[in-house]
A and B are shown apart, each in its own frame.
Chain A
């Protein structure tokens, strides 16, 4: 079973996106230069934009089917998303930000308990009562990662989550992102234009250029550098 099947086209002005790929478990990285269509692909998968033609399947369920005019709303796709700038709610506490994403349980206290667990997993439990505006960029991205996974999504999408951070924090968070995502067992699609990041984070790298997939490659991590995933059978096919 594929975690994600994408076969879409979308034209925006002169830019023409036409991509086909599949994603299984683990972390799949969409890698390429700025303007290649990576983030646009992520927005189409999330349902934030609609493709012109094609289909998108998450866990073999159709969420977009242009031919039949079928679009599952973003809220019903059961995805988690981590954005470049975090995009946390500035007027709510860190704990509230994560608790709002919890879907698997009802009741405020139960949701907050789940949220606290996720904050612990990303090492951000000490910020629970603070507002996002008082956190550093790296701390905000930890919270954003907890929020992206707290709703037990079928798929988590990460749109250049580290590009706004300095190199030391970036290195630290790479390890954390890989460990937390693999231990959660949630398949992930991560967008980056940083080659080192793609190699370090990805089980599979899907190379993008000018709106096209130009190659798909499995990454072989050195044993001592690779976190131990619960479901290490990542793969992709074009």
Chain B
């Protein structure tokens, strides 16, 4: 019994040691990167700042749109009682499975003003939806959506239905049960989906390339700019910024899902 106790403690200590070691390694790597950025790469900020701010302009609205629509779709899939739910989830998940260029091709087919649907959408919106920031946002949204949707469905299905029933029994209408009970209790899983969706939007490449067109100063996000400047020194700055943005996004959105219970 005592041996088992010691073994558990030993394993726990080893686990902690590995966690600390990994944290130190990641911290050192980030520290080195930040030092590198400020010491040597600051000179390239003029070149990098354009793609950096464009990436933010694309990733933030894309994460918000994919988050809201993904949570709504996840809720319907988790709670809806209708045939074909799994088929709908599969369709919504296609951007995970299909190559990004295929997604980009279909988006071009739908959004180009020369096509029937694209022409209609262009008239409704009042401007073209390809080869501009709107196209980049749409591409990043489509890429991020399935992660948000799948995580939301799984998290919502994990909420104890008895707690939801208890909330109905005290008179809360279904929409208040959803907002006050189900979604708050599913927040950790939802936040995990938003985190991955945000990271996906930040790093989107293939579909953005096709729908945005990789136009310098207009639709060239950091992911696209890295390839374009792969033989130049500023690529290191871009790589570093993308890593830092991804870490910041994952930390920030992850914190959203945490709160005391």
Contact = CB atoms under 8 A, between A and B. Distances in A.
Given A90-B261, A91-B184, A48 B165 contact: yes
B167 A100 contact: yes
Contacts, number: 56
B255 to A, nearest CB: 16
Contact of A131 (B162, B170, B260): B260
A186 interface: no
B167 A89 contact: yes
A75 B162 contact: no
A184 to B, nearest CB: 15
A87 interface: yes
A72 to B, nearest CB: 12
Contact of A87 (B166, B173, B259, B260): B166
A138 interface: no
Tell me which of B163, B170, B171, B181 has the highest count of chain A C-beta atoms within 10 A of its own C-beta.
Answer: B170
B192 to A, nearest CB: 17
Tell me which of A81, A133, A157 has the highest count of chain B C-beta atoms within 10 A of its own C-beta.
Answer: A81
Nearest to B173: A75
Interface in B137-195: 162-163, 165-174, 180-181, 184-185
Contacts of B165: 48, 74, 87
Given A81-B166, A131-B260, A89 B171 contact: no
Contacts of A131: 260-261
Contact of B185 (A80, A90, A101, A147): A90
A75 B171 contact: yes
Given A100-B180, A131-B260, A133-B261, A87 B163 contact: yes
A83 B260 contact: no
A151 B180 contact: no
A103 B169 contact: no
A26 interface: no
Contacts of A46: 169
Contacts of A151: 170-171
Nearest to A133: B261
A83 B185 contact: no
B168 A75 contact: yes
A78 interface: yes
A81 B166 CA distance: 7
Given A90-B185, A131-B260, A74 B162 contact: no
A79 B169 contact: yes
Contacts of A147: 170
Contact of A101 (B170, B174, B181): B170
A187 interface: no
A74 B168 contact: yes
A37 interface: no
A32 interface: no
Interface string A195-223: 00000000000000000000000000000
Contacts of A100: 167, 170, 172, 180
Nearest to A83: B166
Given A74-B169, A89-B167, A100-B167, 13 more contacts: A74-B165, A75-B171, A80-B170, A83-B162, A87-B163, A87-B165, A87-B166, A91-B259, A91-B261, A92-B180, A101-B171, A133-B261, A148-B170
16 contacts: A48-B165, A48-B168, A75-B171, A75-B172, A75-B174, A78-B171, A81-B169, A83-B162, A83-B166, A90-B163, A90-B261, A91-B261, A100-B172, A101-B170, A131-B260, A151-B171
Interface of B: 162-163, 165-174, 180-181, 184-185, 259-261
